[in-house]
Amino acid sequence: MPSMVQRYLDQIALTCVDADEGQVADYIPELGAVNPDQFGLALAMHRGSLYTVGDAHVPFTIQSVSKPLTYALALSLRGFDAVDAKLGVEPSGEAFNEISVDPATHRPKNPMINAGAIVAASLVCDPNDPAAGFARLLDCYSAFAGRSLVVDEAVYQSEKATGARNRAITYMLESLGILDVDPELAVDLYFRQCSVRVTAEDLAVIAATLAAGGNNPRTGREVCAPHIVRRVLSVMTTCGMYDGAGDWVSAVGLPAKSGVSGAVLAVLPGQLGIGVFSPRLDEHGNSVRGVTACRRLSSDLGLHMFNVVGEGRATVRSSYDIREVPSETPRDGRDEAILRARRDRVRVYDLQGPLTFTSMESVLQRLDSDSQRFDAAILNLGRVETADALSRGMLFGMHAQLENSGRLGLVVDPDRVLSREAGAWTLDAVRQGKLMAAVESARTHVYPSLSEAVSAAEDFLLAGPRLR
């Protein structure tokens, strides 16, 4: 069943790989040597399901996507007051490697530009045992990713050998009295953190952990406190995409962070995390295809954080088979005997809340894990207030997919939620009229009441497997 989600992602990915503009970062040979055509996309849901496309398992260095994680660690270790005394939360509107601080306070404007990231790194350093300080940082990143991460030694050595500008920034911070540790220790930790190796799948899981308030949905481990996650997501929203931040928030509407390796991480709070990897960069240093993919995902799947639909949780309110709710339709003795033996093969799912991509994805997962338990499934929308265009497509797609496996999918829609206007859905399927065809063919399977749907499901049971 979740393969429907997989198909959406495959389609979206196809529209992104056309973009071949931009330049691969080449300030160190290791980054310049990558295959520029690579494209990996991963989506991790807040309940733990995971989807990947293309080069989602190809490793690359995390680069600036490390900045929000080190900031989170600094806040956890030092507390808000100590961190805020040295580091602001205002967007700078400047390039990532600008040598800039606030003229009055001398604090770097925010932790997403290099100056701020180096201050955050200085706050997690352990001057008595630098190796232990870095081990703690790597443990934190690994907990976010849900697996043990390692450093790319060659990238680290190159960053260190060529990092004149980052050293200049660090010594400026030292001259202003912002650093409490040896500047070399701080900048060295920063070079190491940029060189941690990840995949697009790791980025998606890290993002989903932020989306779930600091709880890694793959491992179940509490990685970071919710109030810290809230701060980190706030700063990512205003500063994560560098000087393109305003346009990003308007068009994509997801807290995000990019890195010069071509990494983009984006978070839909409460719902999901996205990881993209594609090395060619635009003039801001953001991955061209990474930005394109996030724009497409946001508009096609309705992911803008300010879509006012409520949250994506608790969609299946209850589930039971129809022995509890047999239809009133009169049956003769033989049919009634068959139904008595088989009513447990029809399951009803009472749904609640707004239907969105995220909530429908969890419904599909539920049907998939229950798939041995039913021959017909009835989705009861009695408590659903709204269904966006994509979720309707998924509902009708569910029907077609069950039909392919010889089963039946029925929808109960007493308040006619599905026939209300819901705006356009823009994927190719719609342009080609495929979704509309699915809607047409599904129309006969939408019932105004549960008892009518139950009666139709009983007819289906009586027809027996051979006739289906």
Please identify which of the residues 49, 64, 319, 327 carries the catalytic annotation.
Answer: 64
Contact 391, 355 (CB under 8 A): yes
Task: List the one residue out of 101, 70, 74, 69 whose CA is nearest residue 88.
Answer: 101
**Cβ neighbours of 360 (radius 10 Å):** 26
Which helix (H) or strand (E) is 347 found in, with range?
strand 346-352
Our answer to whether residue 64 is catalytic in this structure is: yes
Using CA atoms in the order 48, 53, 56, 57, what is the torsion angle rounded to 10 degrees? 90
- Which residue's C-beta sits nearest to ligand GLN? 64
Active site residue 261: no
Q: How far is the CB of 91 from ligand GLN (least distance, A)?
A: 15
Direct distance between the N- and C-terminal alpha carbons of the chain, in angstroms, rounded to an integer? 20
Q: Is 67 a catalytic residue?
A: yes
347: Cα within 13 Å, side-chain hemisphere: 18
Report the nearest approach of ligand GLN to the CB of residue 62 (Å).
8
Instruction: Assign 3-state DSSP to the chain and report helix, strand, coil percentages, each to 5.
Output: 50, 15, 35
- Of 106 and 284, CB closest to ligand GLN: 284
Q: Which is nearer to ligand GLN, 115 or 376 (CB)?
A: 115
Which residue in the list 8, 141, 156, 190 is annotated as catalytic? Answer: 190
Query: Could you tell me if 259 and 247 are in contact, meaning their C-beta atoms sit under 8 angstroms apart?
Result: no
Active-site position among 242, 258, 264, 276: 242
Q: Which is nearer to ligand GLN, 194 or 198 (CB)?
A: 194
Cα 350–Cα 352–Cα 355 angle in degrees, nearest 5: 115
CA distance 99 to 176: 13
> Minimum CB separation from ligand GLN for residue 282, in Å?
12
Q: Tell me how far apart the alpha carbons of residues 158 and 310 are, in angstroms, rounded to a whole number.
A: 47
Nearer to ligand GLN, 28 or 83 (CB): 28
Select 287 or 359, whichever has its Cβ closest to ligand GLN.
Answer: 287
Q: How far is the CB of 244 from ligand GLN (least distance, A)?
A: 12
- From residue 409, alpha-carbon distances to 284, 415, 435, 443, 454 in Å are 48, 19, 17, 12, 11
Active-site residue flag, 359? no
Q: What is the CA radius of gyration of the chain?
A: 26
Q: How far is the CB of 150 from ligand GLN (least distance, A)?
A: 17
Q: Is the Cβ of residue 156 or residue 447 nearer to ligand GLN in the bound state?
A: 156
Question: Is 320 among the residues known to form the active site?
Answer: no
- DSSP 8-state assignment for residue 353: S
Residues that bind ligand GLN (CB under 6 A): 63-64, 96-97, 114, 159, 166, 194, 259-260, 285
Measured from the CB of residue 86, what is the shortest distance to ligand GLN in angstroms? 19
User: CB 18 → ligand GLN: shortest distance, Å?
Assistant: 25
Closest by Cα among 89, 39, 84, 80 to 60: 39
Cβ contact 309:331 at 8 Å? no
Query: Cβ–Cβ contacts within 10 Å for residue 208, how many?
Result: 31
Q: Which CB, 52 or 97, lies closer to ligand GLN?
A: 97
Active-site positions read 64, 67, 190, 242, 260
